[in-house]
Amino acid sequence: MLRLLLLLWVSNYIETIPIHVAGKKGGGIILPCEFKAREIFHIRLNRPKPFEGEIFVYDKKYCSKRICKKGACDVVIKDLRLSDAGKYILNVYYNNANSVLEPHIRTYQLHIYDEICVNIGEQLKLDVLLSEADKVQHQSRRSTEWMKVWSRSDGVQSQPMTIRDRNLIISNFTARDTGSYRVLDPSGETLITVTVRESGTEAKGKLETNDDKPNALWICLLASVLPVCLCFWFWWFWKCYRFESSIKYQRLHRNVEHGSKGSQFNKL
């Protein structure tokens, strides 16, 4: 009996642990159910407060909708939006002897990330103040610390920021505003992360890369031509050495012959 109670407690505890899933805005993700496919009667996807509504999951083999079922009970979400971030609860119902059993439950925490580029002096608009959002933090490019720029209890904490229609707005974007902005829920889970870059930085990097291409070309040419030049130099040096040695040998041979003839003439 104690073992059965312990097993039930472990099962319920596992069901309450959220599975963390991350996806890029505009992309797609899969919420894995990891349950046995046998005799599944129905699945139901819900979002807790403040949504409190069932999300209809299209159950077709070839589904063109944004939210579809895949396989036995996996759920696919396409064309991700920042508003998709948050907690999801999946109920999987099994059919046993013409009766529906209590559902198996999976909980998910969906994290959406995005990247945007803004020109200096233009407006930065972050549509991140979801109903679940508790605070927004900013990490600059040159820092490892997260600074709070907004919270639901205290409002805006950064001077150049304003709020309008669920958006955090910086009217005059500067280089100091670049970096990462993350949105946390009341339990500290990350809902959204937006990386903001200065427009032109990427193009500048590409331009510098293109400027480096001629140097790389010269390096490749030198790397391929230099061994050939060295081989030719060694070959030429060897030929000259052989030629000079041959000349010296001939001169020496002539001197020896001349000396031999001179000694014979003296004897006569």
Give the domain range for residue 171.
Answer: 119-200
Domain membership of residue 229 (yes or no) is no
Percent of residues, the chain, with pLDDT higher than 70: 69
Domain membership of residue 231 (yes or no) is no
| Weakest-pLDDT range from 87-96, 138-147, 238-247 | 238-247
Using 50, 70 and 90 to split pLDDT, how confident is the model at 15? low
Element (H, E) at 161: strand 161-164
Domain count, the chain: 2
Q: Give residue 265's pLDDT.
A: 44
Q: Which of 141, 142, 139, 112 is nearest to 127 (CA)?
A: 112
Both 150 and 61 in a single domain? Answer: no
Q: Give residue 3's pLDDT.
A: 46
Beta bridge partners of 130: none
| Weakest-pLDDT range from 36-45, 125-134, 172-181 | 36-45
Last residue of a domain, one of 60, 76, 111: 111
> What's the CA gap between 186 and 152, in Å, rounded?
10
What's this model's pTM, rounded to 2 decimal places?
0.68
Q: Is the pLDDT of residue 67 over 80?
A: yes
Domain membership of residue 89 (yes or no) is yes
> What's the CA gap between 132 and 184, in Å, rounded?
8
> What's the CA gap between 193 and 136, in Å, rounded?
10
Last residue of a domain, one of 111, 139, 171: 111
Within 10 Å of residue 83's Cβ, how many Cβ atoms? Answer: 15
Which residue, chain included where needed, has tokens 């707005």? 169
Q: Determine the average pLDDT of the residues in 154-162.
A: 88
Both 106 and 7 in a single domain? Answer: yes
Q: Give residue 240's pLDDT.
A: 74
Domain membership of residue 100 (yes or no) is yes
Using 50, 70 and 90 to split pLDDT, how confident is the model at 41? confident
Percent of residues, the chain, with pLDDT higher than 90: 45
Using CB atoms within 10 Å of the CB of residue 243, give its burial: 0 to 12 exposed, 13 to 18 middle, 19+ buried: exposed
Both 59 and 124 in a single domain? Answer: no
Q: Give residue 95's pLDDT.
A: 77
Q: Give residue 218's pLDDT.
A: 62
> What's the CA gap between 171 and 143, in Å, rounded?
23
Q: Which among 5-14, 154-163, 227-236 has the top mean pLDDT?
A: 154-163
| Weakest-pLDDT range from 48-62, 113-127, 138-152 | 48-62
Domain membership of residue 256 (yes or no) is no
Q: Is the pLDDT of residue 58 over 60?
A: yes
Using 50, 70 and 90 to split pLDDT, how confident is the model at 8? very low
| CATH code for position 139 | 2.60.40.10
Both 137 and 91 in a single domain? Answer: no
Domain membership of residue 194 (yes or no) is yes
> What's the CA gap between 126 and 194, in Å, rounded?
8
